[in-house]
Amino acid sequence: MNRILVAILLLLPLRLASEVPHGVKSMSVEDKARAVVGLQRKLFPPTNNGIAGRTAPLPQYGLPTLALADGTAGVRLSRTAPERSTAFPDNNALASSWDSSLAWEAGDAVGYEAFGYGVGVMLAPGINIIRNPLCGRDFEYFSEDPLLAGRLAAAYVRGIQGHSVAACPKHFTCNNQETNRGRVDARVDERAFREIYLKCFEICVRESHPWALMSSYNQVNGTPAQEQYDILTGLLRDEWGFDGIVMTDWSIVEHNTAAQIHAGNELLMPGLDRQIDDIVEAVRSGVLPEEDLDKAVERLFSLASRAGTPREPGHPDLARGAAVSRKAATEGAVLLQNNGMLPLTEGGSAAFFGVRSYDLIATGAGSGYVKPAYISQIYSAFKDAGVQPDAELEELYLKYVAFTEADIRINEKVKIHLGIGLPFIPEMPLSRTLIDKAAERDDYAVVALGRSAGEGVDRSLKDDYYLSETEKDLVSGVCEAFHAKGKKVVVVLNICGVIETSSWKDLPDAILNVWFPGQEGGVAVLDLLTGRANPSGRLPMTFANDYFDYPSARDFPYDHPTEGRNYDYTDYTEGIYVGYRHFCTRDVPVCWPFGYGLSYTSFSYSGVKVKKGKTALTVSVTVKNDGGRSGKEAVGVYVSAPSGGLSKPAMELKAFAKTGELAPGASEVVTMEIPLSSLSSFSGGKWVTAKGEYTLHIGADASNPVAQAKVSIKSVK
């Protein structure tokens, strides 16, 4: 019966508003109210296939129901459903590719599967700025830089919407912490708000025209974001030209329903009975102008015309998604260190240490969780390629993983995060005797360390940002034992975001960061460590030497308060100096800078040219592969601007691109455009461009540009 209801809801016929007599004007206030309130959860079939919500069907007016689905790493289906979808790498990994075309490929693959499973709206991508490394949803976001985040998000949106599926970027705006996320007041100055926290959304909206956008739970400067007309209408629609719908994030606190509609929300999710009553009463009492409600309904009709194509639940070809997932995992991995160990010689034997070697974390928890048909494990990928894993370690870890999973589940020792995701299995202590025996018999060691995260809770410093004592002992013990035998060690990071690495990075011979790499993570690690693929990822955020080096460190709930500062309100005291803007300007040493990443080959830059047009600078540079292996190079243009009477960062990313695969000795001319308007700063309620000499620093690594050019700007129209 439930499956029949799902099919009926999905196949309700779509009739355009023009086919309905009098359109919106023919609808009663009650029906209009029903249209803008999501189909209440109590009406959902229990077997809802993982769907996060639905719009209310009003077939008598030609308005169908649309299924809305999480998440940010693929289509989230129910854990108990027989169907599976592809688990793609997280947005940290996509951002690390510095490749808009790859982000489009990932979005295209997600859109294809979403359409195949009857989804009309994908609640993705997440594009909030990574303000602090402890935010529980950083893995769903792209970067600490708004240009990198906005451009990649725009490409991802275009990919999804090519399949008649609406993309819904989120969470608009300043959802930069999960602690008390429903009520916390983000107190941010106007300049930082515009240049950092809104800019990523502005770029995405202007470049990809998403059909939907999600307003965030939190307050911004004293008022709930969902109730701010100046943001949701004045800025988003009137200034940026957004023509889609705005939906609320899923209700966890009560809001002023009339204020939400008036501000510019067209869809209240997941939908509550009282909201329908609130709207009807507000219109009849004159609190909510009926024309505001009419606009909301009209925009829902527009969404239905874009994403309401009748679709029957099907079975998309998951092999297509798997190929894209593997490519993205490979290109989004960042080689942080390599002291001559990599690439590995194939064959031989290897000691695989760490739970994550046998139980890879493919995606994060919460609404970002995706359960695929399989997850490629690191040890088994090497085993399939002819490398012999250490048998004793394999047996021990597999038994430990199986027992711990059962212990957590059956004994209910750990609540599975929001009921969505898998329990995080802590690292297992090993005896030095066992490690020494492995060092005696195996050719090299792989140590995989992991971190999990999810919505609703922020990360901790102890045993999370910092390694646990067990992890420290594991890394130091394996390195000591293998180095004593003249053998090498590589650490693989399977992490949700930044962790502290400066205190131990010199112990192993190599470090590879694969983030949450999706279902193909194991084979991606194999490809990268053996040189079948050449690492080309670059960090989309800064790895500081210590947590308290971050400018937002103390203005974040790192100590998990339950009231007051960083709980009821959070002051964004760092202003525009987020991430590398702070570290480069204040000359603070870091462990791994923004844009950092190693390759198995080397590149040189030459022939920098800058052409100034009426509206943009065009920058071109020749990139040559000087090494002995084929590879790709990410190129960034960082601009140092004259002050113009304002405090300015030492440099800001204003353009980026990535070469194609360059054979040894081959070169490519990379051309990038910088709109002159992007050189402006927000001051006194308007955008202002300083006159004077601008310096362009070229190279992916913010702290080590390899080429430079200067240009003089006298005025900007």
Instruction: From residue 97, give the alpha-carbon distance in Å to each of 92, 635, 658.
Output: 9, 11, 8
Largest Cα–Cα distance of the chain, in whole Å? 83
Residue 46 has pLDDT above 80, yes or no: no
Please give the CATH superfamily to which domain 333-533 belongs: Glycoside hydrolase family 3 C-terminal domain (3.40.50.1700)
Average pLDDT over residues 237-251: 97
* Residue pLDDT, tens place only, 381-408: 999 999 999 999 999 999 999 999 888 8
DSSP 419-465: G-S-PPPPPPP--HHHHHHHHHH-SEEEEEEE---BTTS---IIIII
Please give the pLDDT value at position 226: 98
Average pLDDT over residues 501-514: 98
Q: Which two tokens stand for residue 536?
A: 């080309």
Strand-pair partners of 494: 450
Q: CA 442, CA 422: separation in Å to the nearest integer? A: 32
Give the residue among 58, 66, 57, 63 at the shortest CA–CA distance from 18: 63
pLDDT band at 423, cuts 50/70/90? Answer: confident
Please give the pLDDT value at position 19: 43
Please give the pLDDT value at position 22: 42
pLDDT > 70: what percent of the chain? 93
User: In 508-648, where does DSSP find H-type helix?
Assistant: 521-530, 580-585
Please give the pLDDT value at position 583: 98
* Residue pLDDT, tens place only, 145-154: 999 999 999 9
Average pLDDT over residues 578-589: 98
- Is there a contact between 303 and 212 (Cβ–Cβ < 8 Å)? yes
User: In 458-561, where does DSSP find H-type helix?
Assistant: 469-484, 521-530
Containing 184, the helix (H) or strand (E) segment is: none
pLDDT band at 267, cuts 50/70/90? Answer: very high
Which residues have C-beta within 8 Å of that of residue 462, sequence separation ≥ 6?
A: none
Name the residue with tokens 């913010």: 702
Name the CATH code of domain 2-13+29-307 (choices 3.40.50.720, 2.60.40.10, 3.10.28.10, 3.20.20.300).
3.20.20.300
Please give the pLDDT value at position 420: 58
Average pLDDT over residues 27-45: 83
Average pLDDT over residues 422-440: 93
DSSP 192-241: HIIIIITHHHHHHHHHH--SEEEE-SSEETTEEGGG-HIIIIIIIIIIT-
Residue 73 has pLDDT above 80, yes or no: yes
Average pLDDT over residues 209-219: 98
Please give the pLDDT value at position 410: 81
- Is there a contact between 605 and 706 (Cβ–Cβ < 8 Å)? yes
Q: CA 362, CA 352: separation in Å to the nearest integer? A: 18
pLDDT band at 167, cuts 50/70/90? Answer: very high
Q: What is the mean pLDDT of the chain?
A: 93
pLDDT band at 82, cuts 50/70/90? Answer: confident
Average pLDDT over residues 477-501: 98
Give the residue among 156, 46, 57, 89 at the shortest CA–CA distance from 516: 89
Least reliable range by pLDDT among 33-47, 80-94, 243-257, 436-450: 33-47
Q: CA 8, CA 59: separation in Å to the nearest integer? A: 12
pLDDT band at 412, cuts 50/70/90? Answer: low
Residue 499 has pLDDT above 90, yes or no: yes
Please give the pLDDT value at position 234: 98
Which residues have C-beta within 8 Å of that of residue 607, sequence separation ≥ 6?
A: 620, 621, 622, 669
Least reliable range by pLDDT among 63-67, 103-107, 228-232: 63-67
Strand-pair partners of 444: 350, 488
Q: Which two tokens stand for residue 248?
A: 């609320």
Residue 2 has pLDDT above 50, yes or no: no
Residue 11 has pLDDT above 50, yes or no: no
What are all long-range contacts of 109-112, with beta carbons under 8 Å and residues at least 24 apart? 109/159, 109/320, 109/321, 109/324, 109/325, 110/74, 110/75, 110/86, 110/156, 110/159, 110/160, 110/321, 111/159, 111/160, 111/161, 111/162, 111/163, 111/165, 111/167, 112/163, 112/316, 112/320, 112/321
Q: CA 714, CA 711: separation in Å to the nearest integer? A: 10
Q: Which two tokens stand for residue 136?
A: 């529980």
Residue 34 has pLDDT above 80, yes or no: yes
Q: What is the gyration radius of the CA atoms in the chain, in angstroms? A: 26
pLDDT band at 312, cuts 50/70/90? Answer: low
More confident residue, 702 or 542: 542
Residue 679 has pLDDT above 50, yes or no: yes
Please give the pLDDT value at position 687: 96
pLDDT band at 10, cuts 50/70/90? Answer: very low
Average pLDDT over residues 337-366: 96
Question: What is the domain partition of the chain in residue ranges?
Answer: 2-13+29-307, 333-533, 603-713
More confident residue, 344 or 309: 344
Average pLDDT over residues 96-104: 98
End-to-end CA distance of the chain: 62
Instruction: From residue 323, give the alpha-carbon distance in Å to each of 156, 469, 518.
Output: 17, 38, 11
Residue 4 has pLDDT above 90, yes or no: no
Average pLDDT over residues 470-486: 98
pLDDT band at 315, cuts 50/70/90? Answer: confident
pLDDT band at 25, cuts 50/70/90? Answer: confident
Instruction: From residue 271, give the alpha-carbon distance in Å to each of 33, 37, 80, 529, 674.
Output: 11, 5, 24, 48, 43
Containing 115, the helix (H) or strand (E) segment is: helix 100-116
* Residue pLDDT, tens place only, 458-474: 999 999 999 999 999 99
Please give the pLDDT value at position 717: 56
Residue 13 has pLDDT above 90, yes or no: no
Query: What's the CATH architecture for 603-713?
Result: Sandwich (2.60)
